[in-house]
Structure 1
Amino acid sequence: MSDLLFRPLEADEFDLFHSYGPLPASGVGARNLPFEELGYRHDWVWVALRDGEVVARAAFWGPPGHEHPFSLDWFDLGVGPDRIEVGAALLRAAYAELVTPEYATPSGERPDYHLFLPSDWRERPDALADATDRIEAAEKAGLRRFVERLNLRWIPEYGLPPRSTRLTFTPAADDAPVLEVLAGLFTDSLDAYARRDLDQHGLRRAAEVILEEIADFPGGRDRWRLAHDRAGKVVGVVMPTRNSRFATIGYMGVLPEHRGNGYADDLVAEALHIFAAEGEPEVRDNTDVGNAPMAASFARIGYRITGRRMILA
């Protein structure tokens, strides 16, 4: 370990990052866009060097204009016998420099690690081994398993579901009613982030965190809708938006007293109709593996699973 150097890239050193090899053939860590299109800052991209050769690498990501990275979502740790220790040391060095005393993002006290995985990663020995190496190194660096999520995709060719005939939707232009619904969604929530926000911030602030985070997406809030039943009662909210690359449902949910009626399908369908009317070529979403009702709703609407994501925090 004493012969290793850990450091971020200089502005003209992305070729050094790409000199790493070999890439895992299992698909573990693979992204759906080329590295150059993902918008990494050079000073948030780290390498471990041994005799000038890149033996491990890590790339942190944050939205344009933000002072701190939100996530670690590219991490390769080599194939040598000391790969776990090298990878862990690289992460410790990077986190020590990037997570300064003033670090703050809506999602937590340090960047989460997002490990992108094939949907069948547990059934394939090569994928399981590659994933296990990365998880073990991250855990040695102080991160802990938080949640596993399904990555989902919908495109118009899959078929546009029928629009709801039992709910009406109104623009969610004002903060107050949206915050009221968001706070109500925390009751018995199956979403790991919602439960974490509730534990860390309390009910009111947890709702504000969601509102602030989704409002900060480049897609804005013009597409957000409150859903009402035939009696005019609010049953939930859906917040279609765009991230830096794709259309996505930033957040959605049905209030506890209205759950069990299949309203989630209506909310997702409304979002897809909004996106389709605007000509969006695809929509990408995700949900916790443990949130079976939401996963089932996405499946009924026509989404397809593109992979999984293990998040360590």
Structure 2
Amino acid sequence: MDIRNVSVEDFLVWPDDQPDDAEAIKALIDAGRAQPDWFYVGYLDGRPSMRIGYRTSPFLANPAHSGTLSETRLFAVGREGTEHTDEYRAFIDATLPSGLPDDVRLLETRLRESKHADAETRATQLEEIGFRCLMEKTGYVRSGGELPPPRPGIHFKTVEDVGRDAFTRLIAIVGGDGLDREMAHYQSHMDIQHWAEEHVRYLGDQNDLLMIGYLDGRPIGLVGLNDPGAEPYLSFIGVVPDQRGNGYVDDLVRHGTNVAIERGWNPLRAETDMGNLPMRRSFERCGYRMEPGTRLWGHLLDI
């Protein structure tokens, strides 16, 4: 195999690559999460057969947590056809970047059905060469009018009302015992409070879109919407552990959905782990339907 260290422009060798893909990669470089020499294309018989580009996890960009999350991300890996999976691993071993933080011990790759027509096949290939499945998620979408409000007695406060510290403390409680496999992986690499701080940062700074539900003065759960500058979706839903089993997840979904509708955000999307059956069933009860082409796989490889 002829392995070439390439520019961002020469990295885009697949027919389905888009012009804005180059801009997205350059943004990673500008943010310090990738280096210009971290992009490779492997050629067989003079044709591009596979490529790999590397970027660090967003958590590694934060010095406070760079020693607690052992991960870098495999940006793209692909091959025409489904044979010679052993060459994937050899390609990875030959191109791992030098100069990564000492604690980096894992590669992570994402495959999104909407971007990769053969995503499920690629996921199988990755598992054949030693990647283990981190998560499999699917998207939901809902259009239409408002849902019934949460049950009587349940009311909501935003982060504007309670402050980000209070929201962070509660998300540490809610997120520390959930069914999301990706979330559990990140938590296994850092202190739960640090994870909560990073996750709240990831959710954005729109404090009026991060909400806590209360019943009889006690918090029952959280619901968040993403920044309205992007495609609107429910970005976080979680029930306080000792309040689970009471159906409050439906109240959270209904409230978050209605807040979005009041702002004119319709349709509204959401995403959950395929294994999180309570969340999936709640979406379906609230009128969401599974959206074709939205499955997302995440895999990890020890290096």
Structure 2 length-normalised TM: 0.74
Q: Is 1:115 matched with 2:115?
A: no
- Choose from 207, 230, 235 the match for 1:221: 207
Aligned 8 A contact 2:134 2:185 in 1: no
Q: Is 2:41 aligned against 1:41?
A: no
Partner of 2:146: 160
1:259-306 Cα deviation digits (max 9, x unpaired): 112111111122222222222243332212221111111111122222
Matched, 1:191 2:180: yes
RMSD: 3.6
Contact 1:7 1:47 in 2 (8 A): yes
Alignment of 1:42-121 (within 5 A): 43=36, 46-58=40-52, 71-72=73-74, 74-79=76-81, 81-82=83-84, 84-94=85-95, 96-97=96-97, 100-101=100-101, 112-117=108-113
Structure 1 counterpart SS, 2:189:
helix
Per the alignment, in what secondary structure is the counterpart of residue 138 of structure 2?
strand
Q: Determine which of 173, 179, 202 is the counterpart of 2:191.
A: 202
In the alignment, is the contact (CA less than 8 A) between 1:187 and 1:256 conserved in 2?
Answer: no
Q: CA offset at residue 41 of structure 1?
A: 1.2
CA drift at 1:178:
0.8
Secondary structure at 1:200 match in 2: coil
Change (3 A) 1:212 1:146: same
Cα deviation, residue 67, structure 1: 6.5
Report the secondary structure of 1:40's partner residue: helix
Cα distance in 2 between the residues matched to 1:283 and 1:60? 32
- AA paired with 1:35? Q
* Separation in structure 2 between the aligned mates of residue 196 and residue 127 of structure 1, nearest angstrom: 22
In structure 2, the gaps of 5 or more residues are 27-35, 63-70
Counterparts of 1:153 and 1:46 in 2: how far apart (Å)?
Answer: 36
Counterpart residue number, 2:170:
181
In the TM superposition, residue 51 of structure 1 has moved relative to its aligned partner by 4.6
Letter in 1 for 2:279: M
Secondary structure class of the residue paired with 1:18: coil
Find the counterpart in structure 2 of residue 13 from structure 1.
10
Aligned-pair CA distance for 1:224: 0.8
- Percent identical: 22
Partner AA of 1:295 in structure 2: R
CA deviation profile, 1:175-233 (whole Å, cap 9, x unmatched) = 22112211221454222233334332233223223222223xxx73331111111x122
Counterpart in the other structure of 2:134: 146
Give 1:255 shift.
0.6
